[in-house]
Amino acid sequence: MMGRNLIVGDIHSQYGLLMDVLSSAGFSPESDSLYSVGDIADRGPETVRLIRFLSSLPSYRPVLGNHDLWLRDYLVSGLCPQVWMADNGGLRTVKDFIRSGVDDDEKEAMGEWLSHAPYARVEERYIIVHGGIPSGWTMAELAKVSSLPPSTIGYAALEDAAVSPLFNRSYLQSAMAFENGADPSVLQSPLATDRHIFIGHTPLNSPFHSERYHLTAVDTGAGHSRKLTLMDMDTYEYWQAGD
């Protein structure tokens, strides 16, 4: 029997919520594949425990979120940018690594594991990016990004919020505006694809779908003391944990 393809919203170190929502869905590590829209790290209390769990799964398929980018660079190169440490939970994450007794060997192994998360994932039926599709991008740009070496650090075009699929919100904003009746001519055009796009990055009250934009957004604010969402990528059934 074939397993399911499940995708989880921004976890943000909420290990307990992830365990709850996986249990609710009857997740089987042996048969189900778990996709992630990124931002597994920061804000929450258990980054180390979460990474230890996710890295043990046989079919875990993430993309890199901006928080994961900061954590990856810290683990690989010791970088601690102010934007991460002061405003985005990096200090709490670093303290968790110290408190959890992560030695240099395990830290290096975690950095190597995280370095294999691609910037975008383009599969036969799905596209997964953290933030969205920058305006004017085509499948060619997405394919290029998805094929970049996962260990690429400091790739400027991917860290520029205006043009990066890690940070982009214009695609979701256009999809939501269209669903609310906006004139399509003034909105970003949908990506020309038959694949379905899954994104995170923007915390919403509930998952959002747009058929016109081939889009589902699954970040429901686990990093902001709200809900964590897990969704079946083919049926769109979903489960949640948290307040």
CATH number at residue 177: 3.60.21.10
pLDDT at 157: 54
Let me know if residue 71 belongs to a domain. Answer: yes
* Helix, strand, coil shares, percent, the chain, to 5: 35, 15, 50
Residues 6+ apart with CB under 8 A from 163: 134, 157
pLDDT at 77: 87
Residues with pLDDT less than 70, the chain: 1, 150-162
Number of domains making up the chain? 1
236 φ/ψ sector (left φ>0, alpha ψ -120 to 50, else beta): left
Let me know if residue 243 belongs to a domain. Answer: no
pLDDT at 147: 86
Answer whether 202's CB lies under 8 Å from 219's CB: yes
Let me know if residue 80 belongs to a domain. Answer: yes
Answer whether 157's CB lies under 8 Å from 186's CB: no
d(CA 184, CA 231): 28
Let me know if residue 241 belongs to a domain. Answer: no
Let me know if residue 220 belongs to a domain. Answer: yes
DSSP-derived letter for residue 71 is H
The pLDDT tens digits for 167-178 are: 999 999 999 999
Let me know if residue 242 belongs to a domain. Answer: no
Sign of the C-alpha dihedral, residues 108, 98, 50, 122?
negative
Answer whether 35's CB lies under 8 Å from 196's CB: no
Let me know if residue 108 belongs to a domain. Answer: yes
Sign of the C-alpha dihedral, residues 227, 58, 201, 70?
positive
Closest CA to 201 of 161, 157, 141, 143: 161
Residue 22 lies in domain: 5-236
Closest CA to 4 of 34, 24, 44: 34
Let me know if residue 106 belongs to a domain. Answer: yes
**pTM of this prediction?**
0.95
pLDDT at 156: 47
